[in-house]
Amino acid sequence: MILRSVTSRLVLLYCLLLVLLGAVFLAFTVFSFRHYTNETITSNLAIRAQEIWNVSQGALDQPARLTEVIERRFSPQSEDRFIRIAAGGRLLYRSGQPSDGSFDAARIPVLPGSAASNPRSSMMGNLIMVSRAFTTAQGGTVTVDSGQSYQFAQTVEKELATSLFVGLPVLLLAAAVAGYFLMRGALAPVEAMINAAETYTFNEPHKRLPTVDSEPRIEALGQALNRMLDRLDNAYSHVSRFSADAAHELRTPLTIIRGELELVAAGEKQPEDVERAFSNALEEMTRLSALVDNLITLSRMESMWGKRSHAAVDLKELAEETMEQMGLLAVEKQISLMRPQGPNVVVAGDRERLKQILVNLLDNAIKYTRDGGEVSVEVGMDGENGFVTVEDSGIGIDPAHQERVFDRFYRVFPDRGEVGAGLGLAIVKSICQAHGGTASVRSVPEIGSCFKIEIPLFAPDKKMAAAETAAASGRGIP
């Protein structure tokens, strides 16, 4: 769910807070504006009522003059004002209709209790009005009503509210987008750590998660994980060293025993059952020696991981040489071993190790192809990698086993007495990994298998390539 992400939750939370704040701000602004305009207009109207009284005092009993004086001085209609003067319930003057038509001057009611001398204000539709009572020299009471159209202020208020109403969501959206990117920026170190962790393999055991320049807690997490990787790396090296040492220790006594057995077998003729026992023991001893050799090779490969060798190796030349040497095995089974196809491709690597890959793959191809079958090799280039494929018309591998044949000690038919110990392809994979390459297989049971190894081309970096090509031509390597 989207709300599982801390970014979405934070952005949502602060958007909600912004909506709340925005609503309070909007209400407060509109309320303040209304209050302020009311106050200002009311006090102006009270002052104007006083002015009206001042100019009209002398003309109260001359209606025509009163009208003229007031209209000249205050222009009520054109200024959208309302002026009404009354004495003892008798109307002395009342302004006409305002030009904006915001109120009907003839229907403005008299404010109750207008005889009181304190000014009172009231809103009547679009009109805001103040009533003041004044006393004449003769002791009579004159009420002056001074009003003003409120339409303009109402329009301004409406526009203010509208612009806040429209502006706030825009602000909100901008804040949400900014918040999202801010959070993404803050979590970028976590992304970098995830990417580094995803690509972590024992090929590069010294690779660590990036921890610099990040949020202190994220940095602390990265450092803790790196310390854990250090410990795992140490433990793994320890185990690898142990199996390498054990294999080494086994090698010498095995060689001695095999030598002794060979000596006895080549010596005086023994009774048949003793000879058979010797021959079986010798065969098992040979297998055991091969197994120990393979284990040693595997542990050497692991120590090579991450330390790339940069010698130039021509894969085609290597394939030709290896196939020539293994030709006899194919001849024994009447398997046609075709000459390698494809261009000369130079990869960066250790020649002996790369040769071992070809030996293992060709050995398997011949071993698992019935008499009279075919084995072919192709060399080529794929992006920044050189590749070799070894294809046979053999028994093939069931899809369920294809992924696992590269595992150590994995054999597809362990009960059928397959000759190897299941380390050949593990060594192929390990050598490929040590070179920063890959090994894969495509196979169809009863049709055949095609093993492919990919190794990075020699010095893809141009400067290095030039230097290495010069050096390689000196060594007679194309």
Residue in 412, 438, 440, 465 binding ligand ADP, rule: CB under 6 A: 412
Q: Coil, strand or helix: which one is 369?
A: coil
422 binds ligand ADP (CB under 6 A): yes
Stretch that binds ligand ADP, among 114-122, 165-173, 201-209, 408-416 (CB under 6 A): 408-416
Q: Which of 96, 85, 98, 79 minimizes the C-alpha distance to 41?
A: 79
Count the Cβ atoms, other than its own, within 10 Å of residue 214: 19
Q: Coil, strand or helix: which one is 443?
A: strand
> Do residues 388 and 409 lie in contact, with contact meaning Cβ atoms separated by under 8 Å?
no
Residue in 128, 425, 432, 439 binding ligand ADP, rule: CB under 6 A: 425
Residue in 394, 431, 434, 435 binding ligand ADP, rule: CB under 6 A: 394
Nearer to ligand ADP, 158 or 404 (CB): 404
Nearer to ligand ADP, 98 or 424 (CB): 424
449 binds ligand ADP (CB under 6 A): yes
Residue in 411, 439, 454, 458 binding ligand ADP, rule: CB under 6 A: 411
Nearer to ligand ADP, 92 or 425 (CB): 425
Q: Coil, strand or helix: which one is 287?
A: helix
Stretch that binds ligand ADP, among 56-64, 72-80, 314-322, 387-395 (CB under 6 A): 387-395
Nearer to ligand ADP, 432 or 459 (CB): 432
Near ligand ADP in 104-123, by CB under 6 A: none
Minimal CB distance residue for ligand ADP: 420
Least gap, CB of 449 to ligand ADP (angstroms): 4
> Do residues 210 and 194 lie in contact, with contact meaning Cβ atoms separated by under 8 Å?
no
Q: Which residues sit opposite 142 in a β-bridge?
A: 87, 134
420 binds ligand ADP (CB under 6 A): yes
- The distance of Cα 388 from the centroid of its chain, to the nearest Å, equals 36
Q: Which two tokens stand for residue 418?
A: 């397959």
DSSP secondary structure of 57-78: GGGTT-HHHHHHHHHHHH-TTT
Stretch that binds ligand ADP, among 2-10, 228-236, 255-263, 390-398 (CB under 6 A): 390-398
310: which residues sit within 8 A by CB, 6+ positions away?
348, 458, 459, 464, 468
364 binds ligand ADP (CB under 6 A): yes
Q: What is the rounded radius of gyration, in angstroms, for the C-alpha atoms of the chain?
A: 50
Q: Which of 229, 187, 128 minimizes the C-alpha distance to 6?
A: 187
Nearer to ligand ADP, 301 or 425 (CB): 425
405 binds ligand ADP (CB under 6 A): yes
Query: Distances in Å between the alpha carbon of 262 and those of 254, 265, 274?
Result: 12, 5, 13
Residue 242 per-residue DSSP state:
H
Query: Distances in Å between the alpha carbon of 254 and those of 245, 251, 282, 293, 383?
Result: 15, 5, 11, 11, 45
Residue in 302, 314, 392, 454 binding ligand ADP, rule: CB under 6 A: 392
49 binds ligand ADP (CB under 6 A): no
Nearer to ligand ADP, 315 or 365 (CB): 365
Least gap, CB of 320 to ligand ADP (angstroms): 20
Residue in 285, 397, 457, 459 binding ligand ADP, rule: CB under 6 A: 397
Nearer to ligand ADP, 302 or 392 (CB): 392
368 binds ligand ADP (CB under 6 A): yes
Residue 85 per-residue DSSP state:
E
Helix or strand (DSSP H, E) at 116: none
Question: End-to-end alpha-carbon separation of the chain, Å?
Answer: 58
Nearer to ligand ADP, 26 or 329 (CB): 329
Nearer to ligand ADP, 349 or 396 (CB): 396
- As a residue count, the chain comes to 478
Least gap, CB of 212 to ligand ADP (angstroms): 42
Angle, helices 272-304 vs 424-434, to 10°: value is 20
CA pair distance 469, 457, nearest whole angstrom: 12
How many residues line the site for ligand ADP (CB under 6 A)? 23
* Angle, CA 65 vertex, CA 61 and CA 69 arms, to 5°: 120
Stretch that binds ligand ADP, among 61-69, 252-260, 279-287, 394-402 (CB under 6 A): 394-402
Stretch that binds ligand ADP, among 169-177, 183-191, 315-323, 358-366 (CB under 6 A): 358-366
Least gap, CB of 302 to ligand ADP (angstroms): 16
State residue 290 phi and psi, 5-degree precision. Answer: -65, -40
Residue in 128, 358, 379, 395 binding ligand ADP, rule: CB under 6 A: 395
Count the Cβ atoms, other than its own, within 10 Å of residue 314: 21
Binding region for ligand ADP (CB under 6 A): 360, 364-365, 368, 392, 394-397, 405, 410-413, 418, 420-426, 449
